[in-house]
Structure 1
Amino acid sequence: MRQRSEQEDGTRRYRMADAANLPKDVVLGVPILTLTGHYEVNIENYRGILEYTEQLIRINVRSGQIRITGKSLEINYYTTTDMKITGKVEKIEYS
């Protein structure tokens, strides 16, 4: 019996959410990033803060990590579901 890979399972859930017109962020637990210019990032559906300096903020999400690099980065607020980061955002990477 063949086991499904994590990617196949994620693709299947994505198609099911799409077919049922359900919000994908809720069904899949994926993060939502809202970037306002180069100076503000809002992140929803994160799991934790892994690293926090003025040049790098690493966030744990269900599918891996998000790395935000820049200058004068600051987490203005965070709750169990969302956070706001300000500063000069130079790069956002997913891994």
Structure 2
Amino acid sequence: MRWYKVKRAMRFSKKLKNRFNEITDISEELTMGLAKIIILGNQECMIENYKGIIQYENQKIILKTINGIVSVEGNDLCINEIGEGEMLIRGKITSLTLDE
């Protein structure tokens, strides 16, 4: 298959997913696999749709997502809950960065 046909098929697939989201009112992060990050004050951070743990220390937790790398920094950080594709980090969070 030629490259331009693959590229065109990928664009069509993305348009189809976006249209599906509009019609069904399902959030984009669920169908596109995008990371969803919820911060509660400076004590908790819920991250959904992560792909893996790169680094885990009590002052820094780094995760891989489809969007890029999520880095949570702070003091006394711990992974309080972990499930399939979701994680709850607790501690005193001082910064959160997303790098592509």
- Is the helix fraction higher in 1 or 2? 2
Q: List per-residue Cα deviations over 1:10-31 (Å, max 9, x = no partner).
A: x857743553333211121111
Q: Please, which of 53, 70, 78 is the counterpart of residue 66 of structure 1?
A: 70
CA RMSD between the two structures: 2.3
Q: Which moved further from structure 2: 21-30 or 60-69?
A: 21-30
In the alignment, what sits opposite 1:54? 58
**Structure 1 residues 17 and 67: alpha-carbon distance in aligned structure 2, compared to 1, 3 A threshold:** farther
Q: Percent identity?
A: 23
Report the 3-state secondary structure (helix = DSSP H, G, I; strand = E; otherwise coil) of the residue aligned with 2:50: coil
Counterpart amino acid of residue 59 in structure 2: Q
Counterpart amino acid of residue 62 in structure 1: I
Q: List per-residue Cα deviations over 1:13-54 (Å, max 9, x = no partner).
A: 774355333321112111111111101111111111110011
* Aligned positions, number: 92
Any runs of at least 4 consecutive aligned residues in structure 1 with deviations exceeding 2 A, and if so which?
1-4, 11-22
**Structure 1 residues 69 and 13: alpha-carbon distance in aligned structure 2, compared to 1, 3 A threshold:** farther
Unmatched 5+ residue regions in structure 2? none
